[in-house]
Amino acid sequence: MAEEKEFVKELTSKSVDFSQWYVDVVRKAELADYTTIKGCMVIKPYGFALWENMRDALDRRIKATGHKNAYFPLFVPESLLRKEAEHVEGFAPEVAWVTHGGDDKLEERLAIRPTSEAVICSIYAKWIHSYRDLPVLINQWANVVRWEKVTRLFLRTTEFLWQEGHTCHRTEQEAEEETLKMLEVYREYMETELALPTVVGLKTESEKFAGALRTYTLEALMGDGKALQSGTSHNLGQHFARVFDIKYLDEDQQEKYVWQTSWGVSTRVVGAIIMAHGDDYGLQLPPRVAPIQAIIIPIFFGEGKEVIRNKCTEVEEKLRQAGYRVESDLREVYTPGWKFNLWELKGVPLRIEIGPRDIKQNRVVVVRRDTREKLSVPEDEITEKLQVLLTDYQNALLKRAQTFLRENTRSIDDYAEFKSIIEEKRGFIVSPWCGSAECESAIKEETKATIRCIPFGDEQDPQGKQCIRCSKPAKWRVYFARAY
């Protein structure tokens, strides 16, 4: 036990310093690391395997809704980027520019894409001519660059990975339906695959995407009570279509501008998984996306090592054939206790222990990462038992996260109480708001809390309440939180 405790001491406790705990987990669990390039990270193999599983699960959903993947250029000519004033103003402080090709100065600067609306819209203008060309339903998996002043591994880096959907439609209604459909795809994906419940709703005018007509968002609550914007879906209206001249000839022989959407999820959602599910022992990864769902650890005692090693390999192969992501840690230079700590740190959902006694009894010991419950399972039942345990583990993570979200969402009408809770307890605060940008800005300045979203349906009804700050009649009840 002394060895195990010493190993865990390498992690800062969540309750002592959440921010340092997060960095410790990311680096020591070998998800990512810093580089010599300021603000950039290297995603290590274990972290990239996690991202691949997350990416593939979302990609299947995107394709199931009729979208196809493509790839567009990394570089955006300055003249294109500057065509839409509101858009370029929103991204100007974060744009990285290419000024030279080799030793030759370029005639026109090229932006490294902070997002792809400009370059994609210029191409759509060439592709779309008739109503028969619509809808255009395209997604791309790509990297983008935003020159962030303050960075944090996965959550905010100069370069990051994401997917961005860009679609064109005949009518505003079709575009709105697309925008909300993809928002729901994201919500279901995060809940089902990542065990991450979210609050969904509309962004305020001051918080919406630059150039969009409307922006919808998914907001998740992290373990320290801060919100994390986990995905967005934008109804772009006809703004970009008019700027980039994306028109089509309709059935009535009238030339019209298309209606557009864009939507995206990035590698910051990896950070969401860490902060929503992790504990003082490290990661707790949802089984549906975990790179390794079960780790097999031999318990060597004296002679018979080869027999135990062979049994581990045999069980591993059996589980692999059944479709599980499983590995064996057969290294003899580390003790079982050290390995237990390592794979707990890495968040592997299940640990399978095989020793001499287990082999004699034709059984294996299975240990859950979340509860540390130990189960002795007949070897010939291991395939079916793992499915039950992994499903239960996934559901338990979601239920725990839902409980945390519910217990840390408070309905508050008094501004003094609002300020006290946001400072001491954080979490989501649902409060009445008059709808003015002035009040929104003042609340942000006074409390560091922002409006995360205006919820849908009856939840947004202020029921005759007064604005939390100015006491004027409220227009909506909205979600406030401090956020990453």
Terminal-to-terminal C-alpha distance of the chain: 37
Kindly tell me the burial class for residue 12, based on how many C-beta atoms sit within 10 Å of its own C-beta (0-12, 13-18, 19 or more).
Answer: middle
Q: Kindly report the CATH class assigned to 294-389.
A: alpha beta
Residue-wise pLDDT tens digits, 70-109: 999 999 999 998 887 776 777 788 999 999 999 999 999 9
In this structure, which topology does domain 18-72+121-277 adopt according to CATH?
BirA Bifunctional Protein; domain 2 (3.30.930)
Question: Phi, psi at residue 334, to the nearest 5°?
Answer: -120, 145
DSSP 96-118: EEEEEETTEEEEEEEEEPSSSHH
Q: Return the amino acid letter for 381.
A: E
- Residue 18 makes CB contacts below 8 A (sequence gap 6+) with 223, 224, 275
How far from 18 is each of 29, 116, 298, CA to CA, in Å?
Answer: 16, 34, 34
**CATH classification of 409-481 is 3.30.110.30, yes or no?**
yes
Q: Is the pLDDT of residue 344 over 60?
A: yes
Least confident of 13-22, 81-90, 429-438: 81-90
Tokens 């709808």 label which residue? 435
Under 8 Å between Cβ of 482 and 448: yes
Give the separation between CA 479 and CA 466, rounded to whole angstroms: 15
Give the separation between CA 413 and CA 429, rounded to whole angstroms: 9
Give the separation between CA 355 and CA 431, rounded to whole angstroms: 57
pLDDT at 103: 96
Domain extents for the chain?
18-72+121-277, 294-389, 409-481
Q: What is the largest CA-CA distance in the chain?
A: 85
Q: How many CB atoms lie within 10 A of CB 46?
A: 17
Residue-wise pLDDT tens digits, 368-402: 999 999 999 999 999 999 999 999 999 999 999 99
Task: Provide the 8-state DSSP code for 130.
Answer: B
Give the separation between CA 271 and CA 227, rounded to whole angstroms: 12
Strands (E), 314-408: 326-328, 350-354, 363-368, 374-378
Angle at 25 between CA 338 and CA 316, to 5 degrees: 50
% of the chain residues with pLDDT over 90: 93
Give the separation between CA 386 and CA 99, rounded to whole angstroms: 55
Find how far residue 209's CA is from the centre of its chain. 18
Residue-wise pLDDT tens digits, 255-302: 999 999 999 999 999 999 999 999 999 999 999 999 999 999 999 876
| DSSP run (H or E) holding 339 | helix 336-345
Sign of CA dihedral 464, 470, 476, 478: negative
Q: What is the mean pLDDT of residues 219-242?
A: 97
Q: What is the mean pLDDT of residues 141-167?
A: 96
Task: Provide the 8-state DSSP code for 203.
Answer: P
HSE-up of 261 (CA within 13 Å, CB side)? 31
pLDDT at 1: 39
Pairing relationship of beta strands 428-433 and 409-411 according to DSSP bridges:
parallel
Torsion region of 102: left, alpha or beta (phi above 0 gives left; psi -120 to 50 gives alpha): left
Residue-wise pLDDT tens digits, 172-196: 999 999 999 999 999 999 999 999 9
| DSSP run (H or E) holding 69 | strand 68-69
Q: What is the mean pLDDT of residues 421-428?
A: 96
Q: What is the mean pLDDT of residues 313-331?
A: 98
The predicted model scores a pTM of 0.95
Angle between helix 415-424 and 437-447 (nearest 10): 40
> Do you know the residue count of the chain?
484
Tokens 């290297």 label which residue? 42
Torsion region of 41: left, alpha or beta (phi above 0 gives left; psi -120 to 50 gives alpha): beta
DSSP 292-321: -SEEEEE---SS-HHHHHHHHHHHHHHHHH
Mean pLDDT of the chain, nearest integer: 95
Q: Is the pLDDT of residue 234 over 80?
A: yes
Give the separation between CA 391 and CA 374, rounded to whole angstroms: 17
Q: How many CB atoms lie within 10 A of CB 307?
A: 12
Give the separation between CA 61 and CA 216, rounded to whole angstroms: 19
Give the separation between CA 261 and CA 121, rounded to whole angstroms: 11
